[in-house]
């Protein structure tokens, strides 16, 4: 089993460039049936890894395993230097932020109330998304989808995570909003956060990612530096994301 070292620098940040998320030979799934097979990935502090693939390719299953919500069937996962099986709340305390596919906000509460529930301060969340401030007195259910997602991401970033797992944060949102959200993700990485970003927007994901893994039928079938794959965005989308790859 691999144990990832994640030395800390003064101020609680992880030393830049250290591997803080690692999956080795990860096979995981549901009721003992694998949905992902032999996945290897590593993410360093300050890096964005984009996980691309069609519906059913295994991206969410991979993220759930990294978050500690799914136990590996075989292989191992190490997050922030801890290769033991840890549940999400334990990993969250250690510095993991997880933005799930479901929008992570309380619709019946106001924006301010949502921010008060988070681990970080409202001020820190607003530093990431100042445009939210005029809307925070409203119930979140009345905000636009983009504003809800900014609130969800802002809450997570306010807690100053060391690792961010983001599952389809741009689902159903307009291109300008997607760019806004992804630029906040990039800035968080530039501040030292290690990010695993599950996306269906290939071009926009490639624009902010450092590395890319494309998944198909539970396996990584294409990997590389985003800088080398940017010109191939159309082909990647057409080849790997145009139709469901569920078995
Ligand atoms: N709770 C579950 N129980 C059983 N099978 C599941 C469950 N969740 C996902 N699967 C199956 O596991 C496989 C991988 O699904 P996964 O959600 O990881 O894919 P994905 O790439 O994230 O796609 P999507 O974009 O649709 O979320 C699919 O065949 C899916 O049907």
pLDDT at 230: 87
What residues pair up with 26 in beta bridges, in sequence order? 39
Structure tokens at 177: 């909003």
Structure tokens at 50: 């984009």
Residue 20 φ then ψ, to 5°: -120, -15
pLDDT at 53: 93
Q: Which atom of ligand 1 is nearest to the CA of 57?
A: 21
Query: Ligand 1 center to residue 168 CA distance, Å?
Result: 13
Query: Ligand 1 center to residue 62 CA distance, Å?
Result: 10
Which tens digit of pLDDT belongs to each residue from 26-57?
A: 999 999 999 999 999 999 999 999 999 999 99
Structure tokens at 153: 């991401």
Query: Ligand 1 center to residue 243 CA distance, Å?
Result: 15
Residue 176's alpha-carbon distances to 45, 170, 180, 190, in angstroms, are: 27, 10, 6, 21
For a ligand 1 pocket test, name from 29, 52, 56 the mutation site with the most ligand atoms within 8 angstroms of its C-beta: 56
The residue whose CA is least distant from atom 2 of ligand 1 is 30
Query: Ligand 1 center to residue 135 CA distance, Å?
Result: 35
Query: Ligand 1 center to residue 82 CA distance, Å?
Result: 26
Instruction: Give CA–CA dist 146/109, Å, rounded.
Output: 17
pLDDT at 236: 87
Instruction: Give CA–CA dist 227/210, Å, rounded.
Output: 7
> Pocket around ligand 1: residues whose beta carbon is below 6 Å from it?
30, 35, 53, 55-61, 246
Instruction: Give CA–CA dist 69/172, Å, rounded.
Output: 25
- 3-state SS, the chain, equals CCCCCCCECCCCCECCCCEEEEEEEEEEEECCEEEEEEEEEEEECCCEEEEECCCCCCHHHHHHHHHCCCCCCEEEEEECCECCCCCHHHHHHHCEEEECCCCCCCCCCEHHHHHHHCCCCHHHHHHHCHHHHHHCCCEHHHCCHHHHHHHHHHHHHHCCCCEEEEECCCCCCCHHHHHHHHHHHHHHHHCCCEEEEEECCHHHHHHHCCEEEEEECCEEEEEEEHHHHHHHHHHHHHHHHCCCCCC
Q: Where are the domains of the chain?
A: 1-95+161-247, 103-160
Fold exhibited by the domain 1-95+161-247: Rossmann fold (3.40.50)
Query: Ligand 1 center to residue 105 CA distance, Å?
Result: 23
What is the chain's pLDDT, residue by residue, as a tens digit (247 residues)?
344 444 444 445 667 789 999 999 999 999 999 999 999 999 999 999 999 999 999 999 999 999 999 999 999 999 988 777 777 788 888 899 999 877 778 899 999 999 988 778 899 999 999 999 999 999 999 999 999 999 999 999 999 999 999 999 988 899 999 999 999 999 999 999 999 999 988 999 999 999 999 999 999 999 999 999 988 888 888 888 875 444 4
The residue whose CA is least distant from atom 25 of ligand 1 is 55
Q: Which atom of ligand 1 is nearest to the CA of 29?
A: 12
Tokens 């539970």 appear where?
A: 218
Query: Ligand 1 center to residue 214 CA distance, Å?
Result: 15
The residue whose CA is least distant from atom 28 of ligand 1 is 56
For a ligand 1 pocket test, name from 59, 70, 99 the mutation site with the most ligand atoms within 8 angstroms of its C-beta: 59
Full-model pTM: 0.90
Q: What is the ipTM of this complex?
A: 0.95
């Amino acid at each position: 089993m691999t144990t990832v070292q994640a030395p800390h620098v003064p101020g609680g940040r992880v030393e830049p460039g250290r591997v803080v998320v690692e999956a080795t030979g990860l096979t995981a799934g549901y009721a003992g049936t694998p949905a992902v097979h032999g996945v290897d990935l590593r993410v360093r502090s300050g890096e964005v890894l984009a996980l691309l693939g069609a519906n059913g390719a295994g991206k969410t299953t991979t993220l759930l395993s990294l978050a500690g919500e799914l136990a590996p069937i075989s292989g191992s996962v190490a997050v922030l230097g801890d290769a033991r099986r840890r549940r999400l709340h334990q990993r969250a305390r250690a510095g993991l932020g997880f933005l799930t596919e479901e929008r992570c906000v309380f619709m019946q509460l106001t924006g301010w109330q949502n921010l008060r529930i988070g681990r970080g301060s409202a001020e820190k969340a607003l530093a990431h998304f100042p445009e939210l401030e005029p809307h925070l007195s409203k119930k979140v259910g009345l905000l636009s989808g983009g504003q809800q997602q900014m609130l969800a991401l802002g809450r997570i970033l306010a807690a100053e995570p060391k690792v961010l797992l983001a599952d389809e944060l741009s689902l159903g949102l307009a291109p300008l909003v997607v760019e806004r959200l992804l630029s906040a993700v990039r800035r968080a990485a530039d501040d030292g956060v290690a990010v695993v970003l599950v996306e269906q927007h290939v071009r926009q994901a490639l624009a902010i990612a450092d590395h890319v893994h494309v998944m198909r039928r539970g396996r990584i079938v294409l990997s590389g530096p985003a800088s080398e794959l940017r010109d191939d965005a159309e082909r990647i989308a057409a080849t790997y994301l145009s139709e469901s790859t569920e078995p």
